[in-house]
Chains A and B, each alone.
Chain A
Amino acid sequence: MKVMPCPLNGPRPIQEFTCGGEVVAPPDPDHADAEAWADYLFLHDNAAGVVREWWYHVPTSFWFIADRDTVTDEIVRTFLPRELFGPDAQPDRP
């Protein structure tokens, strides 16, 4: 069983977490055509390599973001959402 390093609670068994899927930036809903919108909703990359994912620590109701290698299942880094979404966010790709 994996150990997930939670930015709030430290290393914990993966059972305490649920995965919220990849971090995907939605297209502008006012300007995206139906096809681009459907693409955003229904098509996912499922990439082999390091992907950026939402994770949720259930006992503390805490969302954070993890860069995880889908090939080795190694968790490269975990961090707070505000790094990507806060006022000083610097959204970079993993």
Chain B
Amino acid sequence: MTRERLPHPAGSRIDRTRPVTFEFEGRDYTGYAGDTIASALAASGVWCLSRSFKLHRPRGSFGFAGDEAGSLVQLATEPNVHADTRRIEPGMRVQAQNTVGGLERDWAALLGHFERFLPVGFYYKAFYKPRGVWNWWEKIIRRTAGLGRVDRGWEPEYFDKAYAYCDVAVIGGGAAGLAAATACGAQRLDVLLVEREPELGGWLTYGRQGPGDSTLDDLRGRVQALPSVRVMTSAICTGWYGDNWLAVAQGNRLHKVRAKSVIACTGGTSQPAVFRNNDLPGIVSATAAQRLIRHHGVRPGRRAVVLAAGDEGYAAALDLAENGTDVAAVVDCRPDPPAGPMASEAEARGHRILSGHTVREAGRDPQRLQVGGALVTRVTGPGSCAADGERIDCDLLVVAVGVAPAGGLLAQAGAKFRPSAAEAVPRLASLPDHAFAAGVVAGAATVDEALAQGEQAAQAAATEIADPSPATHAIPEVRDSNESAPFWPVFPHPEGHEFVDLDEDVTVREIEDALAEGYEDIELLKRYSTVGMGPSQGRLSAIATAAVTAAARDTTSAEVGATTRRPPAAPTRFGLFAGRGFQPVRHTPMHRWHVGAGAQMMTAGLWMRPAFYGRPDDRADAIADEVLAVRRAVGLIDVSTLGGFDIRGPDALEFLERAYTPSFRRLRVGRARYALLTDEQGVVVDDGVAARLRPDHFYVTASTSGAEQLYPLLLWYQAQWQLDVDIADVTPAYGAINIAGPKARRVLEKLGTDIDCSPEACPYLAARTGTLAGVDVRLLRIGFVGELGYEIHPPASQSLGLWEALIDAGREYGIRPFGVEAQRVLRLEKGHVIVTQDTDGLTHPHEVDLGWALGRRKPFFVGKRSIEILRDKGLARRLVGYAVPDRNAPVPEEGHLVVRGGEITGRVTSSAWSPVLDQAIGLAYVAPEQAEVGSIIAIKAAGGRLIEAEVARLPFYDPDNTRQAM
């Protein structure tokens, strides 16, 4: 099956001792290890790889370099694989994409017959009327116009990222890149050389070199001998971001490279010519033909026509002829081609050369899905040629009309490319800071020029690294090459099918129609016509698009300009962007104990917390039992997730006075009080407890959800106030255990403590330091749940031990651990607000009855002015407690609306069934006039059912607070 194989030395990449059999469209093919899917198929005479996106025309690869949509194929578990760069593996199953019923008989190709009904801007014009019709069309369009299929049974792969650093990153390991890397490495600079192909050398590995050209082995050897040059092959630089941050994809890893300087040696892209049926498989660039010969040892065709506008076409013709292809003619668009070295040699060898001619139209082989011949006619002017000429049979049509600088990456970084004067091919016009360019991308036309530019760029980079003050970078000087045609080879045909963009099936006519409709700006033209929006991102269509636009608007390509280039510069797998995910998780010291005790864990920010202890299907009972244990005996909850700040120094009090709303001036050492925090807009942002441990030392807690945001906020205040105070986030250093219930004191006393826990010595809101079970703790006599309770703050490393000791000591009193769910019910019974659950981004203290927590006599606190303004405007809503008198009514849910007639007056923020009160209770925002105790409000539950609730006095439970003061 490898009938088109050439003998050694052709085929530098293949290993003829290792045949590899794979499947394409259900048939077996055999290539060699090192072959790509497309090269192995070409060796078997198969050129058609896919059907086109819109018209389902047969397509193959034009450049054999992984650029176009035409070479995208489907693997078993991976869609959109470039057949011309992916290597074959034994047993690989490859299918063509974008076909309905197979590549050979694609039923959707009938779409081609309806082409006149698929005008430019098709998707924008059709399918949107009548309303809803898109939903029907979408399924069909997705099936016929989509690319590959995602395999939903995929096996996860390991992708990750790594940082890399260097003095100089050289992107592209062709002649210029090798020269640049060698020159930098010789100066002991730390160099990273990134090459997208499997080996270094670029054009030197497949191009036809003239006599006396520097040899590839030399260049490679020199770079490999330098210890400070790291070489990455099969690595694609897909993005060039701010401050020389490069994304380099290699295998399953994305390297995030930071370079002091970058030298772009990204080469060029051989361009297609635009003529009728220029999309047929078997129409390839000169470099593609040379790659097939030298890399893969594949004879690209039996009989070839070469369309040239420069010396490289003649080079290809010579290569083909030497490797057994009958070159029927070299068709040169230029009326008077200059005698370049290759052209002279071709002439000397007697090749048939047709100057001032072009291919007007390609014809299809009636037996196969590929080119079968070319209609060659005389060029009659820019963009026009005679209708009649000579028909030449061929199975290969090689196009060598010009090379565009592969400037996508440079353009991302801010480099400008512009064609000069009346030219069509853009040239490098300016470079951003710390960026250099060399080689074809910078306009070099010969290997020697590329080598010289590489060395110059290296020199400039080295100079700049030694002295980093930014200088304006000289653009490499290039000889004016007079080798391209005086106009870009675009030959419109009365019957169409001259494709400007092969990815998107955009023809000359469609560009002209879009322009006629007023889409003259190049960015608008791109989006409306979709030209340049396919996988090749304009690399093969931008010049022709600009040329067609310039002709239609009677201006120059330079005036037309180019579209913005954005990352990624090459198709990139999502896995590389995702990488190995890093999502920090925070565990309290007691985490393992909770899990071992059967807790159902829930996330709270980065933390994991026990929701309740028990099986998921016992949820309601487990929560109720935990609640009752706290009310009747004693419970303990892990509250290590609370934030904790040590605020110390001569100005500690002053800091608190300004940052928090209440006044702490009269707070004695050994006492704690509620600490509310509002922002400058007067909005409640967090609350906690401030305990005065020394005159100049406060220990302030923060809510689980607020702690992480609060610390930067407090430091930001301090950055402005510049007080003599230190604010330390000690959240992870302390565990915290809240032990609550009528028997809580007995548990502590049994455990052994040097703190006098009697009600007289340690009353409600006392703050003590001492030892408990031999552990140094901070002990706060506070209660969120409305029972006798202590918040114990032990060092994190001893928290689990203390927790276990408390459980042991409390066993005889019926102690029970309780989770977040029970705590929510308990605090709701006490009417306590949870900031961010019962407050939102607009809540100010008066709306939630926290006016008592505002230090009215303080000259200043953050939010004071705003709260005054809001208070003076009058309240728009109030948070109230409610109870549902009907015990058979459904329990309202958080977020349910409070309605009055047809009007929404508020919403439920907290809701629970209270096991103690035996009814549904909750907190809700209501209109101020509904806030009176005893008012009846209507809550709209699921399904539209209205639940009647009565505004209740808070707290629901133990209104005189006798229990927490025991």
Query: Which residues of A does B touch, CB under 8 Å?
Result: 1-3, 13, 18, 20, 26, 29-30, 32, 34, 37-38, 41, 54, 56, 61, 63, 73, 81-82, 85-87
Interface-centre pick from A1, A3, A61, A86 (highest chain B CB count, 10 A): A1
Residue in chain B with minimal CB distance to A41: B681
Q: Report whether A73 and B865 are in contact in the complex, using a CB–CB cutoff of 8 Å.
A: no
Residue in chain A with minimal CB distance to B873: A34
Q: Report whether A61 and B869 are in contact in the complex, using a CB–CB cutoff of 8 Å.
A: no
Q: Report whether A37 and B242 are in contact in the complex, using a CB–CB cutoff of 8 Å.
A: no
Q: Which of A1, A56, A87 contacts B716 (CB 8 A)?
A: A56
Residues of A within 8 A of B715 (CB): 56, 61, 63
CB distance from A21 to the nearest CB of B (A): 10
Q: Report whether B719 and A63 are in contact in the complex, using a CB–CB cutoff of 8 Å.
A: yes
Q: Give the docked Cα–Cα distance between A86 and B241 (Å).
A: 37
Q: Give the docked Cα–Cα distance between A87 and B724 (Å).
A: 12
CB distance from A86 to the nearest CB of B (A): 5
CB distance from A12 to the nearest CB of B (A): 11
Question: With contacts A54-B716, A81-B722 known, is A61 near B866, CB below 8 A?
Answer: no
Q: Give the docked Cα–Cα distance between A26 and B722 (Å).
A: 16
Q: Report whether B243 and A86 are in contact in the complex, using a CB–CB cutoff of 8 Å.
A: no
Q: Report whether A63 and B716 are in contact in the complex, using a CB–CB cutoff of 8 Å.
A: yes
Q: Flag whether B720 is at the interface (Cβ < 8 A).
A: yes
Interface residues of B in 686-737 (CB under 8 A from A): 711-712, 715-716, 719-722, 729
CB distance from B237 to the nearest CB of A (A): 14
Q: Give the docked Cα–Cα distance between A20 and B679 (Å).
A: 14
Interface-centre pick from B243, B729, B859, B860 (highest chain A CB count, 10 A): B243
Q: Which of B242, B245, B258, B860 contacts A29 (CB 8 A)?
A: B860
Q: List 5 A-B contacts (CB under 8 A).
A: A2-B242, A13-B245, A61-B712, A63-B716, A86-B722
Q: Give the docked Cα–Cα distance between A86 and B599 (Å).
A: 51
Q: Give the docked Cα–Cα distance between A82 and B723 (Å).
A: 11
Q: Flag whether B680 is at the interface (Cβ < 8 A).
A: yes
CB distance from A73 to the nearest CB of B (A): 7
Q: Flag whether B778 is at the interface (Cβ < 8 A).
A: no
Q: Which of B719, B859, B865 contacts A81 (CB 8 A)?
A: B719
CB distance from A27 to the nearest CB of B (A): 9
Residues of A within 8 A of B256 (CB): 1
Q: Flag whether B864 is at the interface (Cβ < 8 A).
A: yes
Q: Report whether A1 and B722 are in contact in the complex, using a CB–CB cutoff of 8 Å.
A: no
Q: Report whether B243 and A3 are in contact in the complex, using a CB–CB cutoff of 8 Å.
A: yes
CB distance from B408 to the nearest CB of A (A): 19
Q: Which of A18, A37, A87 contacts B866 (CB 8 A)?
A: A37
Q: Report whether B865 and A29 are in contact in the complex, using a CB–CB cutoff of 8 Å.
A: yes
Residues of B within 8 A of A3 (CB): 242-243, 258
Question: With contacts A29-B864, A41-B866, A82-B722 known, is A73 near B712, CB below 8 A?
Answer: no
Q: Which of B243, B719, B864 contacts A1 (CB 8 A)?
A: B243
Task: Tell me what chain A mostly uses at the interface: helix, strand, loop, or mixed.
Answer: mixed
Residue in chain A with minimal CB distance to B870: A34
Residues of B within 8 A of A41 (CB): 680-681, 866
The 3 closest A-B pairs by CB, nearest first: A29-B865, A81-B719, A63-B719
Q: Report whether A37 and B716 are in contact in the complex, using a CB–CB cutoff of 8 Å.
A: no
Interface-centre pick from A26, A37, A87 (highest chain B CB count, 10 A): A37
Q: Which of A13, A38, A56, A82 contacts B712 (CB 8 A)?
A: A56
Q: Give the docked Cα–Cα distance between A40 and B758 (Å).
A: 51
Residues of A within 8 A of B243 (CB): 1-3
Q: Give the docked Cα–Cα distance between A63 and B721 (Å).
A: 13
Residues of A within 8 A of B712 (CB): 18, 56, 61, 63
Q: Report whether B719 and A34 are in contact in the complex, using a CB–CB cutoff of 8 Å.
A: no
Q: Report whether A37 and B722 are in contact in the complex, using a CB–CB cutoff of 8 Å.
A: no
Query: Which residues of B does A touch, CB under 8 Å?
Result: 241-243, 245, 256, 258, 680-681, 711-712, 715-716, 719-722, 729, 859-860, 864-866, 869
Residue in chain B with minimal CB distance to A29: B865
CB distance from A57 to the nearest CB of B (A): 10
Residues of B within 8 A of A34 (CB): 869
Q: Give the docked Cα–Cα distance between A65 and B489 (Å).
A: 56
Residue in chain A with minimal CB distance to B716: A63
Residues of B within 8 A of A63 (CB): 712, 715-716, 719
CB distance from A35 to the nearest CB of B (A): 10
Question: With contacts A29-B864, A37-B869, A61-B711 known, is A81 near B681, CB below 8 A?
Answer: no
CB distance from A42 to the nearest CB of B (A): 8
Q: Report whether B722 and A61 are in contact in the complex, using a CB–CB cutoff of 8 Å.
A: no
Q: Which of A18, A37, A61, A85 contacts B865 (CB 8 A)?
A: A37
Q: Report whether A85 and B719 are in contact in the complex, using a CB–CB cutoff of 8 Å.
A: yes
Q: Give the docked Cα–Cα distance between A32 and B864 (Å).
A: 13
Beyond the given pairs A61-B711, A61-B712, A85-B720, 12 more chain A to chain B contacts, judged by CB atoms under 8 angstroms and listed by A's residue number, are: A2-B242, A2-B243, A3-B258, A20-B716, A29-B865, A30-B865, A37-B866, A63-B712, A73-B242, A81-B719, A86-B722, A87-B722
Q: Give the docked Cα–Cα distance between A56 and B715 (Å).
A: 10
Residues of B within 8 A of A13 (CB): 245, 258
Residues of A within 8 A of B859 (CB): 30
Q: Give the docked Cα–Cα distance between A24 and B597 (Å).
A: 52
Q: Report whether B720 and A81 are in contact in the complex, using a CB–CB cutoff of 8 Å.
A: yes
Q: Give the docked Cα–Cα distance between A32 and B680 (Å).
A: 14
Residue in chain A with minimal CB distance to B712: A56
CB distance from A88 to the nearest CB of B (A): 11
Residues of B within 8 A of A54 (CB): 716, 719
Residues of B within 8 A of A29 (CB): 860, 864-865
CB distance from A72 to the nearest CB of B (A): 10
Q: Report whether A61 and B242 are in contact in the complex, using a CB–CB cutoff of 8 Å.
A: no
Residues of B within 8 A of A87 (CB): 722
CB distance from B665 to the nearest CB of A (A): 20
Residue in chain B with minimal CB distance to A64: B719
Q: Give the docked Cα–Cα distance between A41 and B680 (Å).
A: 7
Residue in chain B with minimal CB distance to A26: B680
Q: Report whether B866 and A85 are in contact in the complex, using a CB–CB cutoff of 8 Å.
A: no
Q: Give the docked Cα–Cα distance between A82 and B720 (Å).
A: 8
Residues of B within 8 A of A38 (CB): 869
Residues of B within 8 A of A85 (CB): 719-722
CB distance from A82 to the nearest CB of B (A): 6
Q: Give the docked Cα–Cα distance between A70 and B866 (Å).
A: 30
Residue in chain A with minimal CB distance to B729: A61
Residues of A within 8 A of B716 (CB): 20, 54, 56, 63
CB distance from B719 to the nearest CB of A (A): 4
Residues of B within 8 A of A56 (CB): 712, 715-716
Q: Give the docked Cα–Cα distance between A54 and B720 (Å).
A: 11
Q: Give the docked Cα–Cα distance between A85 and B256 (Å).
A: 38
Residue in chain A with minimal CB distance to B681: A41
Q: Report whether B245 and A1 are in contact in the complex, using a CB–CB cutoff of 8 Å.
A: yes
CB distance from B912 to the nearest CB of A (A): 36
Q: Give the docked Cα–Cα distance between A2 and B722 (Å).
A: 30
Interface-centre pick from A30, A32, A87 (highest chain B CB count, 10 A): A30
Residue in chain B with minimal CB distance to A20: B716
Residue in chain A with minimal CB distance to B714: A61
Q: Give the docked Cα–Cα distance between A37 and B870 (Å).
A: 12
Q: Give the docked Cα–Cα distance between A37 and B716 (Å).
A: 20
Residue in chain B with minimal CB distance to A58: B712
Residues of A within 8 A of B719 (CB): 54, 63, 81, 85
Residues of B within 8 A of A1 (CB): 241-243, 245, 256
Interface-centre pick from B729, B859, B865 (highest chain A CB count, 10 A): B865
Q: Give the docked Cα–Cα distance between A81 and B716 (Å).
A: 10
Q: Give the docked Cα–Cα distance between A60 and B630 (Å).
A: 41
Interface-centre pick from B241, B711, B712, B715 (highest chain A CB count, 10 A): B712
CB distance from A55 to the nearest CB of B (A): 11
Residue in chain B with minimal CB distance to A28: B865
CB distance from B472 to the nearest CB of A (A): 15
Q: Give the docked Cα–Cα distance between A84 and B865 (Å).
A: 24
Residue in chain B with minimal CB distance to A63: B719
Q: Give the docked Cα–Cα distance between A42 and B245 (Å).
A: 35
Q: Give the docked Cα–Cα distance between A20 and B712 (Å).
A: 10
Residues of B within 8 A of A37 (CB): 865-866, 869
Residues of A within 8 A of B681 (CB): 41
Q: Give the docked Cα–Cα distance between A30 and B864 (Å).
A: 10
Q: Give the docked Cα–Cα distance between A29 and B719 (Å).
A: 19
